[in-house]
């Protein structure tokens, strides 16, 4: 992913947050990925980490992110080994989430799975596509495969979860990259969460 594309995505997202009345904290925690696709608007995701911690060090058990999902922009099929998360449609279009359980070998399970939608437990078939309208939410448990995209326009999505480490907790069904390889075609206007080591040695 080109650095110029990342700069543009962050500036665009900042305007979107302001338009929707979201005030971001001063400490930047930008996270932009194309999952190695080379086409951010087809397969990619914009995230801002509002709060998180170190699972091995911190007492705080919870984390929060705000995400922007573009129309038809796919986050590919994956599960989390540790993280349980609530995904909330905060406004805009609808969020479509395709669900599968997983087998011990990491394959997709064809068995029905239980899922909680706004606190109501229900059983759905493998491959079910759940549509979250603005204000609706779903609880995704560990080892529950999911992929998602927006329909009906750009969608603001909240995530409330246990604290987690994205470098180790994600298991993608296809071999994709969680953090992009960046082509430095221009100077960064903003550093991503995965930039700090290479740019300022943290």
pLDDT digits (tens, 9 = 90+) for 25-35: 887 789 999 99
- pLDDT exceeding 90 applies to what percent of the chain? 78
In a domain, 97, yes or no: yes
Within a domain: residue 33? yes
Name the domain count of the chain: 1
User: Helix, strand, coil % (nearest 5) of the chain?
Assistant: 15, 45, 45
Distance CA 102, CA 145 (A): 6
Residue 202 lies in a domain: no
| Res 100: pLDDT | 99
Average pLDDT over residues 58-87: 95
C-alpha distance from residue 109 to each of 105, 163, 171 (Å):
10, 26, 15
What are the tokens at 24? 């971001």
pLDDT of residue 202: 46
Which CATH number characterizes residue 188's domain? 2.60.120.10
Could you list the residue range(s) of the whole structural domain that residue 33 is in? 3-194
Residue 171 domain flag: yes
What is the pLDDT at residue 152?
Answer: 97
Residue 99 lies in a domain: yes
Which band of pLDDT confidence, cut at 50, 70 and 90, is reported for residue 166? Answer: confident
Average pLDDT, the chain: 93
Label residue 179 left, alpha or beta by phi (over 0 means left) and psi (-120 to 50 means alpha). beta
Coil, helix or strand at residue 119: coil
Task: Count other C-beta atoms under 10 Å from residue 32's C-beta.
Answer: 26
110-162 pLDDT, tens digit each: 999 999 999 999 999 999 999 999 999 999 999 999 999 999 999 999 999 99
Residue 64 within a domain = yes
Residues contacting residue 130 through CB under 8 Å, at least 6 positions apart? 96, 97, 98, 99, 115, 117, 124, 138
């Amino acid at each position: 992913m080109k650095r110029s594309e990342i700069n543009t995505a962050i500036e665009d997202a900042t305007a979107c947050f302001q338009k929707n009345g979201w005030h971001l904290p001063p400490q930047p925690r930008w996270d932009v990925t194309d999952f190695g696709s080379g086409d951010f608007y087809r397969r990619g995701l914009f995230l801002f980490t509002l709060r998180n911690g170190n699972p091995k060090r911190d007492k705080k058990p919870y984390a929060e992110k705000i995400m922007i999902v573009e129309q038809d922009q796919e986050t590919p099929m994956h599960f989390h080994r540790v993280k349980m998360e609530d995904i909330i449609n905060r406004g805009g279009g609808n969020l479509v989430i395709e669900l599968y359980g997983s087998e011990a070998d990491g394959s997709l399970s064809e068995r029905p799975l239980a899922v909680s939608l706004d606190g109501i437990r229900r059983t759905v078939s493998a491959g079910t596509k759940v549509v979250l309208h603005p204000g609706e939410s779903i609880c995704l448990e560990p080892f529950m495969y999911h992929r998602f995209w927006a329909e009906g326009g750009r969608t603001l999505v909240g995530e409330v979860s246990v604290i987690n480490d994205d470098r180790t907790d994600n298991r993608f069904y296809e071999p994709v990259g969680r953090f992009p390889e960046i082509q430095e075609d221009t100077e960064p206007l903003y550093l991503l969460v995965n930039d700090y080591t290479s740019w300022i040695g943290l």
